[in-house]
Amino acid sequence: MFDFSNARDHMVESQIRTSDVTDVPVLAAFRRVKREAFVPNAKVALAYGDSHITLDDGRVMLRPRDLAKMVQAAEIEPTDIVLDLACARGYSTAILSHLADTVVGVETSEEAVARATELLVESNVVNAAVVQGHLKSGAAEHGPFNVIIFNGAVHEVPKAWVDQLANDGRLVTIVQKGPIGHATLFQKSGDVLGERILFDTSAPYLPGFAPEPAFTF
């Protein structure tokens, strides 16, 4: 029988720690959450690989190294409220639940919400909930948020996300305007939004987030 526990430790040691992720609570969260529990049965062999995993409905499970670096950069505090956009089956929500006070995941269909909720319950996550909504709209009724994470690439960050950040709130996503994107940290201070590139990477655009095609004459 495959040893998922050993694979999870190997993922942390060979993919995450070697990518300058040193925050102890972040490393502990990635050791604790069973990634294989959130992967479709047909792709469970890919659960601990060093790559993105394409899921249903145009969703993606970001490669462990990328997600860990983004989570570390968000500097999540135990009192924070976190918004996890495009949470898919709930893996990122489960990771965040071990770092924050409350996590709100957002998915667009009833089926996705029900599936993620079931998997989180099976993983004994008690401080997170997945709600249905439009990804670009965020979840204003549950905010403001100290941290917002988007699981995919965007061409531009929607204004609604920025509006839902608390003062000193952090937003982390992959901004992609070509073949190579940048994991980027945005931080809100009053009416000012600072921006810092974290590292180069790429990820699929989720439906509705790709740039509009340019018209030529």
pLDDT of residue 214: 57
From the list 113, 63, 118, 74, the residue with the least C-alpha distance to 96 is 74
Chain segment 86-105, per-residue pLDDT in tens = 999 999 999 999 999 999 99
CA 97 to chain centroid, in Å, comes to 12
Enumerate residue ranges in the chain where pLDDT < 50.
Answer: none
Cα gap 113→39, rounded to integer Å: 15
pLDDT of residue 211: 86
Domains and CATH numbers, the chain: 4-201 (3.40.50.150)
Q: How many CB atoms lie within 10 A of CB 115?
A: 18
Residues 6+ away with beta carbon under 8 Å from 14: none
